[in-house]
Copies of this chain bind each other. A is one copy, B any other.
């Protein structure tokens, strides 16, 4: 508690670096000028994550990227977890949210596609365990955009929130699954890479048609055969699932307006 960026109490209860990201909290004017900035550090972390994966992100590695020492980062960030949270927010800030006009359904669909693009550009985001509800600026901004797409639908506010959470949860899960599959084809994770191209084959080797009839039926239908070979197929699967989600929301909207 004697040095470094502590998580001291403030009126928001947020860590100091988070308030920094919000633009709240004015820097003290006393000591020497700061050699770095929070934004620099976060960007460096994102750069390392983009090029070397989330596993390559260590305090020392990020500091090296900036020609600084590992400990110097702790003047800007209280812990590595804080840095990771800030990196997620920074990544969301780098995607341009170009939304469209139209029906709520078109708007919400476009909104979900933007999120998928973000996960494809920054796949390491999905490897960072989620902790708590979103509190960072860009994430809340993204939520705001999502809620707006449901304006004029006649839904209750809490229903809008649930609907938006529904869409993000699907997008996130799909990005996880498809990201792993796509990554397995490209780079060579020794475990995943060997497994995925022969997923259907593998299932049939491990399970019997008597015990796992439904699973075998899916495999026999060729579902896994062409999966993942191209992004086109993955895109198709994404939209297929998304349309189901939107159907569910539409069904609720219709009931509310009946």
Contact = CB atoms under 8 A, between A and B. Distances in A.
A132 B12 contact: no
Interface of A is mostly: helix
A203 interface: yes
A177 B214 contact: no
A248 interface: yes
Interface in A187-218: 189-192, 194-196, 198-199, 202-203, 205-207, 211-215, 217-218
A215 B157 CA distance: 9
A143 interface: yes
A257 interface: no
Contact of A195 (B14, B127, B247): B14
Contact of A218 (B11, B158, B243): B158
B170 A132 contact: no
Given A151-B214, A196-B133, A244-B166, A140 B207 contact: yes
A252 interface: yes
